[in-house]
Amino acid sequence: MSPPGRAGPGQGRQPPGPFRPRFWRSPLRGQWLTSVLGLVLLGGLSVMAVTGLLSYASYDPRLPGNDETSGAGLLHFYLFSWPTDPAWLYRVNQGVHVTLGVALVPVVLAKLWSVLPRLFSWPPVRSPAHLLERISLIMVVGGVLFEMATGIMDIQNWYVFPFSFYTAHLYGAWVFIAGLVIHVILKFPRMLAGLRSRSLRRELRTPLDQTQPEDPDPAGLRAARPAPPTISRRGLLAAVGGGSLLLAGLMVGQSIGGWTRRTALFAPRGLSAARPGTLPVNRTAADIGLTDAEVGPAYRLTLVGARQVTLTRAQVAALPQHSAVLPIACVEGWSASATWAGVRLADLARMAGISHPAGARVESLERHGSFKAASLSGAQVNDPQALLALRVNGADLPRDHGYPARVIIPAAPGVHNTKWVSKIVFQ
């Protein structure tokens, strides 16, 4: 079948189909294209790794009960206590992590498409070094697909995976990071050579009728028998970039908020959550089974410190009130800013007889769920903007937003702004 001039060593023994180099026809595959996509991913996935690890740090996992990942190994290192300033820190971190993660989907697909013939390279293993390198590719390819799949499913509340999202997304990230670092170390020189092999400026000026296959490369990314092109190289890059912009453009409004929320057609808290006078939530009062009796006149707030104090909602409302404009931001990437009003947590600590609180544990009326309680650091409790809020945007808290009282802390993850607060234990 193959012309005699092309048959290399071992050519006759390779299985048919994708294992034959001549099976792959796209004239656009080549080291330059793979290197450009690789460079974009090197930047984008590094941002994903950093924002992801910051997201883990934002839970202050060293505080009791805060680590959702149920582990205690070396990968649970705590370099710093999560700051409360700037207040937008968590909002921006999660917005970037989730929006960028979705926007990178077409780039990852294009990059995998560009190297897919290598999956079927024959012989499958040439040396121990080659075998180990292929195993490391499981970490980087499996890692990026696993992380994207679990992240994208989690933001849509599609919990069909047989593991805890927090645990699996964190350890999947570590497997991926290990794979990515070794992949970059091994491939960086080749990426640079690929980038130098063609001029980006010239590619961007080359229309379809002048598009030629790339030069052959040592990895054999270029097709052995390229078909005539049906799209230019710049056309393919524009389609990939356009796909990223489309995905990001139709979701980023859920993170920016305001009028832009109405532009977020494909985002879990986008256009659907853009109802005037409301803020998005990720747990409803109906979901936790909150009863009228629990939030009615029988409601009591218990403060525990050097002494124990029990207050009705009216007594809390009679304490000195402060207001703060703070974002509520979810690990799932959406956020919204609001004006919250209530009592400073530091003032409540003093009522309980603790003048310099080193931290607090806040408990909710919720009976079940991972976030029915949260531990706060000393910095969070002492921040003058950290409130036990009773009102939002000039009205009593809606029940879905934690009526009778909720915590709001600058730069804290949404789930640490405990709703339906029943008890605060100060240390």
Partner 1 sequence: MGQQDRLPVGRGPKSPAGWFRRWYGAQPLHLLALLAAFALAGYAVRDMVGAGQWFGFVIWFAVAIVGHDLLLFPLYSLADLSLRRLLPAPSRRPARSAGPPVVNYIRVPGAFSLLLLLVWFPLILGLSAHAYHRASGLAESPYLGRWLAVTGVLFAVSAASYALALRRRASRARRASRHRHRFH
Distance CA 388, CA 397 (A): 11
Nearest CA to 254 among 107, 155, 124, 158? 155
Minimum CB distance to partner 1, residue 237 (Å): 12
Q: Which is nearer to partner 1, 59 or 146 (CB)?
A: 146
Q: Which is nearer to partner 1, 151 or 305 (CB)?
A: 151
Nearest CA to 403 among 295, 249, 264, 311? 295
Residue 64 CB neighbour total at 10 angstroms: 10
Q: Which is nearer to partner 1, 283 or 313 (CB)?
A: 283
Cα-based distances in Å from 376 to 31, 91, 186, 338, 379 = 50, 18, 43, 21, 8
Minimum CB distance to partner 1, residue 372 (Å): 15
Q: Which is nearer to partner 1, 142 or 378 (CB)?
A: 142
User: How does strand 406-408 pair with strand 301-304?
Assistant: unpaired
Q: Which is nearer to partner 1, 274 or 354 (CB)?
A: 274
Residue 110 · residue 28 · CB < 8 Å: no
Minimum CB distance to partner 1, residue 323 (Å): 25
- Helices marked H in 160-232: 165-196, 200-204
Distance CA 64, CA 75 (A): 17
Residue 384 · residue 344 · CB < 8 Å: yes
Minimum CB distance to partner 1, residue 269 (Å): 7
Q: Which is nearer to partner 1, 209 or 292 (CB)?
A: 209
Q: Which is nearer to partner 1, 188 or 307 (CB)?
A: 188
Buried b or exposed e, range 305-320, using 16+ CB within 10 angstroms: beeeeebebeebbebe
Minimum CB distance to partner 1, residue 263 (Å): 12
Residue 327 · residue 337 · CB < 8 Å: yes
Structure tokens at 214: 């790339």
Minimum CB distance to partner 1, residue 65 (Å): 16
Q: Which is nearer to partner 1, 157 or 355 (CB)?
A: 157
Minimum CB distance to partner 1, residue 155 (Å): 9
Structure tokens at 414: 């949404």
Minimum CB distance to partner 1, residue 194 (Å): 13
Q: Which is nearer to partner 1, 12 or 128 (CB)?
A: 128
Q: Which is nearer to partner 1, 72 or 79 (CB)?
A: 72
DSSP symbol at 352: T
Distance CA 152, CA 180 (A): 20
Structure tokens at 345: 């947590």
Phi-psi region of 423 (alpha: psi -120 to 50; beta: other; left: phi over 0): beta
Minimum CB distance to partner 1, residue 66 (Å): 16
**What backbone phi and psi angles, to 5 degrees, belong to 251?**
-130, -20
Structure tokens at 81: 């206590």
Q: Three-state SS for 331?
A: coil
Distance CA 197, CA 207 (A): 19
Cα-based distances in Å from 260 to 332, 334, 349 = 18, 12, 39
Minimum CB distance to partner 1, residue 292 (Å): 18
